[in-house]
């Protein structure tokens, strides 16, 4: 695709050149100068233009676009009521966003210890976080980052005109770090969503949000890169193909808008690359095409319909090319194929290099994640791979993580998937050894409700839910199926004394 050409064109505004003649009087007259102007003085401006691919000259003017888009960006305050506890909360968001991750806290405080119910608990307190959001529908729908509202008990939206409303969470998706909210208000100024595929590196963009609680802040820069994977989303199925920009983005911009000069939303600002936690040159935004798909899923199905090829991939570098004797230097290398793999069933093999999806070139792994992330289970895609220097194409019907090609609505979703963990019934011999009737082991945490809300660790053995005895995975599923609101887990760790309790909340 041809790149847009940028140029500066000086433009003189006015009908002619102003002429001024200064005449000094003779020695025998007053020393006051006399001015003779040939025309009225007209101000001179320089105007920056950008030239589109079709040759059209477009003024580079941020003022009009700023006025248009600021009304569509909101301030978000999220409040989480935290019950006092003796354990560390690693996943909390500070007022400075994602400056510090779990590793920071582990470095200073060590690994988390299970809560000791025998100790007295500190008083409950509130954690307040702030961020931004974008109005995408006139009837009150607002998109933001998942991490802005994650685990919030109360969410308050403030519009550009300072009107405030309570917000309801319609859906959250940790794998893309997106969330959809709704307020009870009609006639809102919705922002038009653009096509992020048409975004070009070098294109002028603006970031709109509320950094450091400075409401309605606009910064400008260019698109520095596309398809960036910076490994910031803490989710097993994370999709990272960020638009990178040098428009200044700071804590509080999260969930705000990245817009082009047409005032179209091309991305949701999500992260910054910084050694200090404040702007240091680069910000990252989720492409609008991924945002549109996730929002549509929430509206239609109540949950995100995630599609998978069923392959493990990695970027190509010089070492990999040498080790695997690859003929090409760009693409997504197929490192392994998962069980019930849609790609494997279609004929793709380990060692192949994916070079295109539906004729869209794949240069790195992030490109492939982005393209597949726009689809749902049951969609068919054409995937081209390079195998030993020869290109082969396969038509693949995508599936979900369990291998099913059917769409699932939120009321059909397995409650255990919502918890974000895998479980296993405790072996009877092991139960006898531990002196319990039975239980369910938390085998693996995947960044869901259990991990985010409780601080529970893998290996915890669930023996009860809300005073109901649990001995098998089926018991666990049945006990949670019709639960709403607060849930109390009871159980033990194999090598830790005493019975422990973890509380969490299920969505309505």
Let me know if 147 is a catalytic residue: yes
Minimum mean pLDDT range among 187-196, 477-486, 488-497: 477-486
Please report, for residues 32, 163, 493, the alpha-carbon distance to residue 420 in angstroms, rounded to integers and kept in the order given.
85, 36, 19
| pLDDT tens digit sequence for 227-246 | 999 988 877 788 999 999 99
Q: Which of 147, 173, 196, 224 is catalytic?
A: 147
Q: Which of 254, 341, 356, 365 is catalytic?
A: 254
- Domains of the chain and CATH, by start: 5-60 (no CATH), 62-304 (2.40.10.120), 311-397 (2.30.42.10), 414-506 (2.30.42.10)
| pLDDT tens digit sequence for 93-111 | 333 334 334 443 343 334 4
DSSP state of 374: T
Let me know if 410 is a catalytic residue: no
Q: Which of 173, 177, 297, 475 is catalytic?
A: 177
Dihedral (C-alpha) 441, 443, 447, 448: value to the nearest 10 degrees?
Answer: -40
Calculate ∠ Cα 473-477-479, nearest 5°.
Answer: 115
| pLDDT tens digit sequence for 165-204 | 999 999 889 899 999 999 999 999 999 999 999 999 999 9
pLDDT: is 6 or 271 the higher one? 271
User: Measured between alpha carbons, how far is 233 from 177 in angstroms, rounded to an integer?
Assistant: 7
Let me know if 482 is a catalytic residue: no
Pair of tokens at residue 316: 């190509």
Question: Are the CB atoms for 41 and 18 separated by under 8 Å?
Answer: yes
State residue 187's pLDDT score. Answer: 96
Please report, for residues 129, 149, 216, the alpha-carbon distance to residue 212 in angstroms, rounded to integers and kept in the order given.
11, 17, 11
State residue 451's pLDDT score. Answer: 75
How buried is 390 (Cβ within 10 angstroms: 0-12 exposed, 13-18 middle, 19+ buried)? exposed
């Amino acid at each position: 695709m041809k790149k847009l050409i940028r140029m500066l064109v000086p433009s003189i505004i006015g009908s002619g050149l102003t002429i001024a003649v200064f005449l000094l009087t003779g020695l025998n007259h007053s020393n006051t100068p006399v001015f003779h102007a040939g025309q009225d003085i007209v101000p001179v401006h320089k105007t920056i233009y950008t030239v589109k691919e079709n040759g059209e000259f477009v003024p580079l003017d941020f003022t009009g676009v700023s006025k248009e888009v600021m009304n569509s960006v909101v301030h978000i305050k999220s409040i989480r009521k935290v019950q006092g506890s003796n354990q560390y909360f690693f996943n909390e968001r500070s007022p400075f966003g994602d400056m510090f991750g779990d590793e920071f806290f582990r470095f200073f405080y060590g690994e988390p210890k299970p809560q000791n119910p025998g100790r007295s608990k500190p008083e409950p307190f509130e954690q307040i976080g702030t961020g931004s959001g974008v109005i995408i529908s006139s009837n009150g729908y607002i998109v933001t980052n998942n991490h802005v509202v994650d685990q919030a008990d109360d969410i308050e939206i403030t519009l550009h005109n300072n009107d405030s409303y309570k917000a309801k969470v319609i859906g959250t998706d940790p794998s893309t770090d997106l969330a959809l909210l709704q307020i009870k208000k009609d006639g809102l100024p919705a922002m038009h969503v653009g096509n992020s595929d048409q975004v070009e590196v070098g294109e002028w963009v603006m970031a709109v949000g509320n950094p450091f609680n400075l409401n309605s802040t606009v910064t400008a820069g260019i698109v520095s890169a596309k398809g960036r994977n910076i490994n910031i989303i803490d989710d097993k199925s994370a999709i990272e193909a960020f638009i990178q920009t040098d428009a200044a983005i700071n804590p509080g911009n999260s969930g705000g808008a990245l817009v082009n000069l047409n005032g179209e939303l091309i991305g949701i600002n999500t992260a910054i690359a910084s050694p200090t936690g404040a702007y240091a040159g680069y910000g990252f935004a989720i492409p609008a095409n991924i945002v549109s798909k996730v929002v549509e899923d929430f509206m239609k199905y109540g949950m995100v319909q995630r599609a998978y090829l069923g392959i493990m991939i990695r970027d190509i570098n010089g070492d990999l090319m040498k080790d695997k004797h690859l003929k090409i230097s760009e693409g997504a290398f197929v490192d392994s194929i998962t069980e019930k793999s849609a790609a494997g069933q279609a004929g793709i093999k380990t060692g192949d290099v994916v070079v295109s999806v539906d004729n869209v070139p794949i240069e790195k792994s992030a490109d492939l994640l982005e393209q597949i992330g726009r689809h749902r289970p049951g969609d068919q895609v054409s995937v081209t791979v390079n195998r030993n220097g020869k290109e082969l194409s396969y038509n693949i019907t995508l599936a979900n993580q369990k291998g099913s090609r059917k769409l699932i609505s939120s009321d059909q979703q397995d409650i255990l998937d919502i918890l974000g963990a895998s479980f296993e019934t405790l072996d009877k011999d092991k139960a006898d050894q531990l002196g319990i009737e039975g239980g369910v082991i938390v085998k693996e945490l995947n960044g869901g409700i259990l991990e985010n809300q409780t601080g529970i660790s893998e290996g915890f053995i669930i023996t009860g839910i809300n005073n109901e005895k649990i001995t098998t995975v089926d018991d666990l599923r049945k006990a949670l199926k019709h639960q709403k609101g607060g849930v109390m887990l009871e159980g033990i760790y194999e090598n830790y004394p005493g019975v422990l309790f973890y509380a969490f909340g299920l969505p309505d």
